[in-house]
Structure 1
Amino acid sequence: MKVLGTVLVAVSLLLLLPSAWGSEASHTCVFQTLSEPDHKFCRGELEVIYPEVGDVSCSYIPKCQGYRQKLSQEWGKPRVRFPWAKKNKKYVLVMVDPDSPNRANPKHRFWRHWLVSDILGSDLRVGKIKGKVLTDYSPPKPPRYSGYHRYQFRLYRQPAQKTIALSPEDKESLGAWDLKDFVEDFGLGHPVASTQFLTKNHMD
């Protein structure tokens, strides 16, 4: 009887272990770093900071803890910080989705999610995006079954005495935005820093 009792206790403990492991695992959320070539886009130490998770630059947004759903439905605009910004210079911040409606057929590529000009470098150093809002922030909302989307942040130095504006046509539509023309029209040149994160629909 004593042996049988010992066996029963051992079996009970073994049955409890998986649930304990599962419970511990459910509290662990790993933000996986982007693989090549997506990782190459990240340069200049640009930080994109959301509540609860911190800097999501150059990473996948995991599904655990409801992070993808919160990103799409609850969280507002992130803090964007560039520690190397020149205090007295102005910058232009662009946030776009180059994978709209999906990465295989991005016919609406460079869907504009956020566009702000006249950002002072002193504000940018501490993550305050204050300036002229040309496109209000729109959270990432990838369609179901469209796979991962890249959400890219591009930071440009704004030429002195240059007023940045959208054309009437661009104001009417967020999708299929000609980012290249916009950059060339205002002489923005190459981004001084850029980063991105990848996420998909929270139901997928």
Structure 2
Amino acid sequence: MELLRAALLAAALLGAAVRAEETPWGDGHPRTCFFELLSSLDNKFCRGDLEVIYPELGDVGCTYIPECRQYRQRISREWSSPRVRYPRADKSKKYVLVMVDPDAPSRADPRNRFWRHWLVTDIRGADLRAGTPGGRVLTEYVRPAPPSRSGYHRYQFRLYEQPAHEAVALSAEELMSLGAWSMERFVERFRLGSPVASTQFLTKHYGD
């Protein structure tokens, strides 16, 4: 009888713990955050095991940024550039990392694509493998901050192998603006070819 009573007590405590995990915080956000994977169409962009790592969230590749715990607000207003890791990087080579928003000002009307959020060249393969890429920053990291009521935006990370002895730089015209950047022309100008790896996440304005 004592054994049965102990088992029932343990089950009751376990049930209470599960319910507590599901109840919301005082601000209405649930204790548990659920990470939703991208649709099959957007998922196709992710290839090559490129990792984009933000605080608390971990690798956000091929996911929606969840609303819970103010993550959308924090990624837009608080966190600095993510760690980028590429386990397949060749230690003897250098790479170019591009972060763009193809949905500026909205996915339905992307007249300012590609909005350049980050551009780093001369990244050593050994650093990429370790998840601590340095390199030469051509465009400082700009946090993803979609305009209100513009829906979800894709934030894409493309990693290119940098041709040996190729000095990659932005033109004076490109330096004047982040928006409406001709990424394809840039890639063609420096013979970067196709990305060796790419990934993306989706988020929208935290107040929507």
For normalisation by structure 2, the TM-score amounts to 0.87
Following superposition, the deviation at residue 22 of structure 1 comes to 2.7
Which deviations, in whole Å up to 9, do the C-alpha atoms of 1:15-63 show, x marking residues without a partner? xxxx955338811101111012100000000000000110000100011
**Amino acid corresponding to residue 195 of structure 2 in structure 1:** P
Which residue of structure 2 lines up, in the alignment, with residue 138 of structure 1?
A: 142
Which deviations, in whole Å up to 9, do the C-alpha atoms of 1:146-176 show, x marking residues without a partner? 0000000000000000000001000000000
Structure 1 moving runs of 4+ over 4 Å? none
For normalisation by structure 1, the TM-score amounts to 0.89
Query: What aligned pairs does 1:145-184 form with structure 2 within 5 A after superposition?
Result: 145-184=149-188
Which residue of structure 1 lines up, in the alignment, with residue 205 of structure 2?
A: 201
5+ long unaligned stretches in structure 2? 1-18
Percent of aligned pairs with the same residue?
A: 63
**Amino acid corresponding to residue 109 of structure 2 in structure 1:** N
In structure 1, what is the Cα distance between the partners aligned to 2:109 and 2:98? 22
CA radius of gyration, larger in: 1
Which residue of structure 1 lines up, in the alignment, with residue 117 of structure 2?
A: 113
Which deviations, in whole Å up to 9, do the C-alpha atoms of 1:64-123 show, x marking residues without a partner? 100000000110000000000000100000000000000000000110000000000000
Instruction: Find 1:37's aligned residue among 33, 37, 41.
Output: 41
Following superposition, the deviation at residue 126 of structure 1 comes to 1.1
Matched, 1:49 2:50: no
In structure 2, what is the Cα distance between the partners aligned to 1:112 and 1:31? 26
**Amino acid corresponding to residue 157 of structure 2 in structure 1:** F
Which deviations, in whole Å up to 9, do the C-alpha atoms of 1:169-188 show, x marking residues without a partner? 00000000000000000000
**Amino acid corresponding to residue 55 of structure 1 in structure 2:** D
In structure 2, what is the Cα distance between the partners aligned to 1:136 and 1:31? 28
Matched, 1:64 2:65: no
In structure 2, what is the Cα distance between the partners aligned to 1:201 and 1:23? 22
**Amino acid corresponding to residue 132 of structure 2 in structure 1:** K
Query: What aligned pairs does 1:78-117 form with structure 2 within 5 A after superposition?
Result: 78-117=82-121
Question: What is the root-mean-square deviation in Å for CA atoms of aligned residues?
Answer: 1.5
5+ long unaligned stretches in structure 1? 1-18
Following superposition, the deviation at residue 129 of structure 1 comes to 2.0
Which residue of structure 1 lines up, in the alignment, with residue 24 of structure 2?
A: 23
Aligned residues: 187
Which residue of structure 1 lines up, in the alignment, with residue 80 of structure 2?
A: 76
In structure 1, what is the Cα distance between the partners aligned to 2:132 and 2:175? 24
In structure 1, what is the Cα distance between the partners aligned to 2:30 and 2:189? 49
In structure 1, what is the Cα distance between the partners aligned to 2:56 and 2:200? 18
In structure 1, what is the Cα distance between the partners aligned to 2:199 and 2:139? 19
